Amino acid sequence: MPDDVAIEPEVDPTYVFRLLAELQQELEGLHRKMNEVDLLRHYEDDIQLPTGERTSGLEVRIGATSELVENVKASLTSNEPNVVIKALRDGDPAQENTSK
């Protein structure tokens, strides 16, 4: 019995390649956002300055957002989107403000 036995795949390789490309395209936005969040978490993101301002060469960043970033990332990947907003005020002036 020869050692060189050709193995026939169960599934057509072009089907697997097309399925992979489709999934990569479908999840591209999620992966892009997760990458942005990771860059923010590790302080590797670019600092966005308003027009007319320039960097001074000194960056000061704090780690206060690290836990918040992890919570947002976990909620994006594991839960259905859910937003609950409680009104800070009640009454007619508050109701008029909501329509603006």
Instruction: Evaluate whether 69 touches 40 at the Cβ level (below 8 Å).
Output: yes
pLDDT of residue 85: 64
- Quote the pLDDT of residue 15: 92
Predicted local confidence at residue 16, as pLDDT = 92
User: What is the separation, in whole angstroms, between the first and last Cα of the chain?
Assistant: 81
Residues of the chain with pLDDT under 70: 1-2, 42, 44-45, 60-66, 79-91, 93-100
Are 34 and 73 in contact, with CB atoms under 8 Å apart? yes
